[in-house]
Amino acid sequence: MNDKKLTIEEIKARLKIVCICKGIKQSRICDAILKGADTVDKVNQATGSGSGGCNATRCGPVIKKLVESKGKIILEPYQTEVEDDDLNF
Ligand code: FES
């Protein structure tokens, strides 16, 4: 068992919803990445994210950032507005 105590900020970040249409939390996305999902598509297949109402336009850039960080929880507020460059997963 992991005895590391999480800070309030870490707990809040883990509980933050990445895919709002399916209620998928950042912790679930990161767990999928840590278990080997190393692309946005693989994360979406593992968690069900990216297939809801936004069609990955809202959640995709955040998932991409989490994949690039190798599943490290993002503590700071993340941007959910979409730039054209963010849609090239
Ligand atoms: S927020 Fe659910 S598919 Fe993008």
Distance 86 CA to ligand 1 centre (A): 14
- DSSP single-letter state for residue 71: T
| pLDDT tens per residue across span 7-57 | 999 999 999 999 999 999 999 999 999 999 999 999 999 999 999 988 888
- Model confidence at 86, in pLDDT bands (50, 70, 90)? low
Q: How far is CA 41 from CA 5, 8, 32, in A?
A: 32, 30, 11
* Topology of domain 21-75, CATH: Arc Repressor Mutant, subunit A (1.10.10)
Cβ partners under 8 Å of residue 13, min gap 6:
26, 73, 74, 75
Residue 58 CA: nearest ligand 1 atom is 4
Domain range summary for the chain, segments of one domain joined by +: 21-75
- Model confidence at 4, in pLDDT bands (50, 70, 90)? confident
pLDDT of the residue at 56: 87
Ligand 1 close to Cβ of residue 19 (< 6 A):
yes
As a whole number, mean pLDDT of residues 59-65 equals 94
- Kindly state the tokens that stand for 18: 């990445």
Residue from 58, 64, 66 to probe ligand 1 pocket by mutation (most atoms less than 8 Å from CB): 58
